[in-house]
Amino acid sequence: MLRQRIITALLLVPLPVAAIWFGEPWFTSLVAIFGVLAAFEFYRLGSTARVSPVTYLGLIFTLIFIVSCNPDLLSRLEDSIDPTLISPLILAAAVVLTFIWIMLRRKKDGAIASWAWTIGGVLYVGWLLGHVVSLRGLVDGRSWVFFILVTTVASDTMAFFIGRAIGRHRLAPQISPNKTWEGAIAGVIGAIAFSLLFTPPELFSLTNPLRIHGLSYGEAILAGALSSIFGQIGDLAESLLKRNAKVKDSGRLLPGHGGVLDRLDSIIFAGVVVYYFAILYKGI
């Protein structure tokens, strides 16, 4: 299993790295593809849990939410509409149109649960993941997105190995029995250690391509800790969804890793907190 996970990771890593590095339209396109696949897995979890979400509408609005965060698209729309109104308009359309679709269904049993699950997928995957697209459009956006990836991977890796080696105290036994406090703390430490790569102007006597200008070591530590903590919360949130659906993985698209949602769960939550850290704390 571990070997399969490593091989899959090595095959997948170049694609997102290239998309992040070269920016738009490649980055938004990749996030949109992964987002729609993750949303599809989310709605399939709903079906497994005996809820009947409006999958196609949910996928459409998930895609619209992610694409609407593209900075190039927003700049083109500024003359026609206030960009701050776009997200509320999309959300309003999703709520109303989904409700109308539910009411037109012949089967009325569980209608509200179906509607709630549909909107939940749009918000959970579409709206939250859209923050990563917005983050890429900021000053040093490329480095900020790499910051999320590096810190979440470091956090997950440290939590996994340290948790298996010395983990004794269960973190959330009713949600994910294998996660421990020792692993969680190690994950935060790992994320903090790798977050420091984004501060110096040089690494190993070479210009640091990951540098986030103006980011102090203290700020990097805080952002790294937040990325790890919220990434782990995102992991637990998806574990709760899978537990309610009584499945081990959200899908089987990625051998050794489960589904796309299994890989994005940490990034979705970490992306949100890092985005607002960059906006509010750093004033970018």
pLDDT of residue 284 exceeding 70, the answer is no
pLDDT of residue 257 exceeding 80, the answer is no
How confident is the model at residue 248, as a pLDDT?
81
Number of H helices, E strands in the chain: 12, 4
Give the other-Cβ count within 10 Å of 50's Cβ: 9
Q: What is the dihedral of CA 120, 8, 31, 281, to 10 degrees?
A: 80
How confident is the model at residue 12, as a pLDDT?
65
Residue-wise pLDDT for 25-40, tens only, equals 999 999 999 999 999 9
| Domain ranges (residues) in the chain | 2-281
> What percentage of the chain reaches a pLDDT higher than 70?
93
How confident is the model at residue 4, as a pLDDT?
53
pLDDT of residue 11 exceeding 80, the answer is no
Lowest mean pLDDT among 38-47, 76-85, 113-122: 76-85
36 compared with 251, residue with greater pLDDT: 36
Q: What is the dihedral of CA 119, 122, 125, 128, to 10 degrees?
A: -100
* For range 92-100, the mean pLDDT: 95
The number of angstroms, rounded, from the C-alpha of 227 to the middle of its chain's C-alpha atoms is 11
Residue-wise pLDDT for 197-241, tens only, equals 999 999 888 999 999 999 999 999 999 999 999 999 999 999 999
82 compared with 99, residue with greater pLDDT: 99
Structure pTM?
0.91
